[in-house]
Structure 1
């Protein structure tokens, strides 16, 4: 993921016990334990994405996060093409500045 995002000028930081990648100061995605992708999306789009295999509402510290945050399991990220597709979704749904 780092290699795919580095060329786009994305900033990487350690936050929430994960590696997160920020675009224009906003969290785009995060790399969580176990190969899970933390994805920031528009809440309405998130409801649709939850229907896909391997996607669940993100949880932090035992509590569910808002509808803007999804976890994508490693099973849904088996290829670079699948990862790129999820990264594109996060870019499209990133809130405007």
Structure 2
């Protein structure tokens, strides 16, 4: 099975820093579990998004949303943003977003 390398953009690192330590650990563990292998296979918690300016894919971990792109030819998953949902509202970097 092919293993992907996971990289965080500076913006995604900033997103993580705004969260509490245990939330950061939960998110990083979820990313490693769900995106290290087959990050482009749709599952219950992983889906391809409609075209937008954030990322092509979304991983759902409870209330958290991890937005990422995959570079298949070099086996890299690039974490673009980390946000969270409150009801039907999505927040990324403290601002409400529509995707």
Instruction: Give the TM-score, by structure 1 length.
Output: 0.29
**Bigger helix share:** 1
Greater RCO, CA 8 A, separation 6+: 2
**Bigger strand share:** 2
Instruction: Give the TM-score, by structure 2 length.
Output: 0.28
